[in-house]
């Protein structure tokens, strides 16, 4: 008898617990969380639309703008991305994040000079900012400024001696200037840090 | 009073420094380039023309990747074999361009507007007081492997002549972009055939092959260009060279070879040698112009 009474009660409790958990989950599933999940699934447009409501209001509107810029960059909407990052910069002109961010769509549009402008501003604020230096080297390569790239890559390599990328750019700068010996030396240093580096292997074993 | 003047002077000097400082802060936003050019041409087989000598300067300024302007001035002197006085010519050039980046297409669209003004002492007035306006829209993809443009030029000459020119152009890169071929059509319609060697229209095709050399080559060349033109053209406007062919004769083909050295990151030198064939129908004068051209380009 007791068994017959306990079973429905237990079932009701389980259903109640389950319902409460679902409601609780729904309450804590913020638009931000949804946006991150959608981004992780590659649904960038939906991820951007979820947070679009925050770009003009709320305490996190600057963050929303930067995220909106990033998600539009991922979609290839480079002009919308630039506009969002620019609006973020208008709200906080000291933002390093927005400057690093705006450089990405500009670089995607091969607007190297415009990207250089923002990256140099970051380096002006934060002289050893690694991301800014790497992106700046990419721009210098795009502009085919091999002497500038050589000096820059050497400098970055001194500050980040374990870094492979700076050495790759140093090697490319030497190679494009026709200095094969220095390019060989730089690519050899690349292989010490990254033994499977295809570009270095191909250059050293033509 | 002296102290006050001194303070005003100091403030003025300080403001100059401030202006200079601001300019330095914005220095990277503008890219400036100057082209100094000189040309010498010798006419062969011509009844009247002897030589052409000229020189000029073009200043280009670009604001980041958005657009810019160019200003140029050129002086040329055309010498004759007979007693005809030399024609001394001054030409002026101005150009504006704007790059539009649209996400719908994989590369910038460039809108460009050129203007030319030419004055000389040509006694006939046929080549004097020439005005040209030339809009152009062009596209270059991000990979720099495909180019297309459509240019138009409207030229006005004295003695009842106006010239319409259309120049569709296609270009493409290959061999890992070490090579580039560009083909441009010249479709030119003079309004007055009597002023254009009895031609109501002329058609020509120009092809240019550019090859970029591997760095470290023994000759230190950055690139070489071979260009040729077939067909006929008269009163042509060359947007690339910022030049107006205000000669009254028909150009019937040309070949040229250009060699360019990149002396430093900012300095490059180009030497061009070429031959152009011309015809003056009125006096049955077929002749050619063998020329050499030098361009020294500095960027900062």
pLDDT in tens, B81-105: 987 889 999 999 999 999 999 999 9
> Quick check: A20 pLDDT over 80?
no
**Count of structural domains within chain B:** 1
A99 with A158, same domain?
Answer: no
Mean pLDDT, to the nearest integer, of B269-286?
A: 94
Whether residue A193 is contained in a domain is answered as yes
Whether residue B250 is contained in a domain is answered as yes
CA-CA distance, B81 to B246, in Å (whole number)?
Answer: 20
B265 touches chain A (CB under 8 A): yes
Whether residue A152 is contained in a domain is answered as yes
Q: Looking at residue A1, what is its pLDDT? A: 47
Provide, rounded to the nearest whole percent, the portion of chain B with pLDDT above 70.
Answer: 91
- pLDDT higher at B286 or A19: B286
B142 touches chain A (CB under 8 A): yes
Q: Looking at residue B15, what is its pLDDT? A: 41
* B215 vs A106, A147, A178: nearest CB: A178
Mean pLDDT, to the nearest integer, of B222-248?
A: 96
Classify residue A59 as exposed, middle or buried by CB count within 10 Å of its CB (0-12, 13-18, 19+): exposed
Domain that holds residue A83: 21-143
Whether residue A13 is contained in a domain is answered as no
Predicted interface score ipTM higher than 0.90: no
Q: Pick the closest to residue B206 from B226, B180, B222 (CA basis).
A: B226
CA-CA distance, A194 to A203, in Å (whole number)?
Answer: 14
* Chain B, nearest residue to A179 by Cα: B216
A134 with A202, same domain?
Answer: no
- pLDDT higher at B94 or B47: B94
| Pick among B265, B266, B300 to test the A interface (most A CBs inside 10 A) | B265
Structure tokens, B160: 């009842």
* B64 vs A111, A145, A177: nearest CB: A111
Whether residue B6 is contained in a domain is answered as no
Q: What angle do helix axes A31-40 and A61-75 make, rounded to 10 degrees? A: 20
Mean pLDDT, to the nearest integer, of A166-175?
A: 97
Q: Look up the CATH number of the domain holding residue A150.
A: 1.25.40.10
Backbone dihedral region of A112: left (phi > 0), alpha (psi from -120 to 50 degrees) or beta?
Answer: alpha
* Choice among A5-14, A183-192, B137-146 with the minimum mean pLDDT: A5-14
A45 with A92, same domain?
Answer: yes
Q: Looking at residue A82, what is its pLDDT? A: 98
Mean pLDDT, to the nearest integer, of B193-221?
A: 93
E-state strands within B46-86: 49-63, 67-80
> Quick check: A40 pLDDT over 70?
yes
| Domain finish residue from A143, A166, A196 | A143
Cα-based distances in Å from A46 to A26, A33, A57, A71, B244: 18, 12, 19, 9, 54
A79 with A163, same domain?
Answer: no
| Pick among A123, A150, A178, A180 to test the B interface (most B CBs inside 10 A) | A178
A139 with A206, same domain?
Answer: no
A92 with A46, same domain?
Answer: yes
- Reduced to 3 states (helix: H, G, I; strand: E, B; else coil), residue A164 is coil
How confident is residue B208, by pLDDT bands cut at 50, 70 and 90?
very high
Task: Show residues of chain B in contact with A180, CB under 8 Å.
Answer: 216
A84 with A173, same domain?
Answer: no
| Pick among A73, A76, A111, A175 to test the B interface (most B CBs inside 10 A) | A111
> Quick check: A196 pLDDT over 80?
yes
Beta bridge partners of B227: B208, B256
A66 with A33, same domain?
Answer: yes
Nearest-neighbour CA in chain B from A28: distance (Å): 36
CA-CA distance, A23 to B276, in Å (whole number)?
Answer: 84
> Quick check: A54 pLDDT over 90?
yes
CB contact under 8 A, B216 and A77: no
A118 touches chain B (CB under 8 A): no
Residues A83-88: contacts with CB within 8 Å, 24+ apart? A84/A55, A87/A55, A88/A62
Whether residue A3 is contained in a domain is answered as no
How many contacts, defined by CB atoms under 8 Å, are there between A and B? 48
Q: Look up the CATH number of the domain holding residue B156.
A: 2.40.160.40
| Domain finish residue from A125, A143, A161 | A143
A36 with A132, same domain?
Answer: yes
**Count of structural domains within chain A:** 2
Structure tokens, B241: 């060279």
CB contact under 8 A, B214 and A178: yes
Classify residue B117 as exposed, middle or buried by CB count within 10 Å of its CB (0-12, 13-18, 19+): middle
Domain that holds residue B278: 29-299
Q: Pick the closest to residue B108 from A144, A106, A72 (CA basis).
A: A106
Nearest-neighbour CA in chain A from B175: distance (Å): 17
Mean pLDDT, to the nearest integer, of B5-9?
A: 45
- pLDDT higher at A53 or B25: A53
Count of alpha carbons within 13 angstroms of residue B189, beta-carbon side? 5
CA-CA distance, B208 to B185, in Å (whole number)?
Answer: 12
A158 with A125, same domain?
Answer: no
Q: Looking at residue A206, what is its pLDDT? A: 84
Mean pLDDT, to the nearest integer, of B244-248?
A: 93
Q: Looking at residue A132, what is its pLDDT? A: 98
Whether residue B21 is contained in a domain is answered as no
CB contact under 8 A, A111 and B62: no
A135 with A162, same domain?
Answer: no
Task: Show residues of chain A in contact with B108, CB under 8 Å.
Answer: 109
* B64 vs A76, A78, A113: nearest CB: A113
Whether residue B5 is contained in a domain is answered as no
CA-CA distance, A61 to A65, in Å (whole number)?
Answer: 6
Q: Which residues numbered 177-236 in B keep a CB inside 8 Å of some CB on A?
A: 214-217
| Domain finish residue from A106, A125, A143 | A143
Instruction: Please check whether residue A86 is in contact with residue A102, taking contact to mean a CB–CB distance below 8 angstroms.
Output: yes
A46 touches chain B (CB under 8 A): no
B102 touches chain A (CB under 8 A): yes
Whether residue B153 is contained in a domain is answered as yes
Nearest-neighbour CA in chain B from A19: distance (Å): 46
CB contact under 8 A, B216 and A76: no
A114 touches chain B (CB under 8 A): yes
Mean pLDDT, to the nearest integer, of B173-179?
A: 96
Whether residue A155 is contained in a domain is answered as yes
A122 with A101, same domain?
Answer: yes
């Amino acid at each position: 008898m007791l068994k017959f009474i306990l079973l429905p009660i237990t079932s009701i409790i389980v259903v109640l617990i389950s319902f409460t958990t679902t409601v609780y989950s729904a309450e804590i599933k913020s638009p931000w969380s949804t946006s991150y999940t959608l981004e992780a699934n590659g649904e960038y447009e939906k991820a951007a639309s979820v947070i679009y409501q925050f770009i003009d209001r709320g305490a996190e509107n600057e963050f929303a703008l930067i995220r909106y810029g990033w998600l539009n960059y991922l979609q290839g909407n480079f002009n919308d991305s630039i506009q969002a990052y620019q609006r973020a910069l208008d709200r906080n002109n000291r933002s390093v994040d927005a400057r690093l961010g705006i450089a990405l769509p500009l670089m995607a549009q091969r607007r190297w000079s415009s990207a250089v402008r923002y990256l140099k501003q970051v380096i002006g604020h934060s002289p050893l900012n690694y991301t800014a230096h790497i992106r700046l080297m990419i721009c210098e390569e795009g502009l085919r400024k091999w002497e500038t790239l050589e000096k820059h890559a050497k400098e970055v390599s001194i500050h980040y001696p374990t870094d492979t990328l700076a050495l790759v750019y140093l090697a490319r700068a030497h190679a494009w200037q026709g200095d094969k010996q220095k390019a060989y030396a730089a690519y050899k240093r690349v292989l010490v840090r990254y033994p499977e580096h295809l570009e270095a292997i191909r250059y050293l074993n033509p | 009073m002296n102290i006050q003047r001194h303070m005003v002077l100091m403030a003025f000097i300080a403001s100059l420094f401030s202006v200079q400082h601001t300019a330095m802060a914005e220095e990277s936003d503008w890219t400036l380039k100057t082209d100094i050019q000189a040309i010498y041409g010798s006419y062969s087989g011509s009844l009247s023309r002897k030589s052409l000598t000229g020189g000029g300067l073009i200043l280009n300024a670009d604001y980041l990747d958005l657009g810019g302007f160019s200003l140029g001035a050129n002086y040329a002197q055309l010498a004759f074999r007979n007693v005809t006085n030399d024609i001394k010519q001054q030409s002026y050039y101005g150009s504006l361009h704007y790059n539009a980046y649209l996400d719908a297409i994989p590369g910038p669209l460039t809108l460009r507007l050129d203007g030319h003004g030419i004055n000389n002492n040509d006694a006939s007035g046929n080549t004097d007081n020439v005005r040209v306006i030339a809009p152009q829209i062009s596209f270059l993809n991000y990979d720099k492997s495909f180019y297309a443009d459509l240019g138009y030029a409207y030229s006005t000459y004295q003695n009842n002549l106006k010239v319409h020119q259309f120049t569709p152009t296609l270009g493409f890169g290959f061999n890992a972009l070490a090579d580039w071929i560009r083909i441009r059509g010249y479709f030119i319609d003079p309004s007055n055939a009597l002023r254009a060697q009895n031609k109501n229209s002329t058609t020509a095709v120009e092809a240019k092959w550019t090859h970029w050399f591997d760095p470290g080559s023994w000759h230190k060349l950055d690139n070489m260009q071979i260009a040729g033109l077939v067909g006929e053209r008269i009163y042509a406007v060359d947007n690339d060279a910022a030049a107006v062919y205000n000669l009254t004769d028909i150009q019937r083909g040309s070949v040229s070879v250009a060699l360019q050295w990149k002396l430093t990151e900012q300095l490059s030198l180009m030497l061009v040698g070429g031959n152009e064939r011309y015809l003056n129908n009125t006096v049955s004068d077929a002749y050619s112009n063998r020329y050499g051209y030098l361009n020294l380009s500095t960027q900062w």
